[in-house]
Amino acid sequence: LLDVVPIPDPSMRGRKKTILEGTIPSPLAKPSGCGFRTRCPIATEECSKTKPQFEKFDNNHKVACLKV
């Protein structure tokens, strides 16, 4: 998500962006476990079995990931 944020510093605009691969799940047939696992580069079998809960990442952000 951070790759889509506009960068005000022109010298940083050419940075390499992460392109997500994989299958976008259907909202009508969500995958088991983590709903993002079909596109996640670090997903494991645990991600297919356990739905992560949101946890505080820092003062301003929350994350729902079994690997963080």
Q: If DSSP states are collapsed to H, E and C, what string results for 15-27?
A: CCCCCCCCCCCCC
pLDDT in tens, 26-56: 889 888 999 999 999 899 999 999 999 999 9
> pTM, whole model, 2 decimals?
0.64
Sign of CA dihedral 41, 44, 46, 48: positive
Instruction: Assign 12 a pLDDT band (cuts: 50, 70, 90).
Output: low
> What number is the average pLDDT over the span 15-21?
74
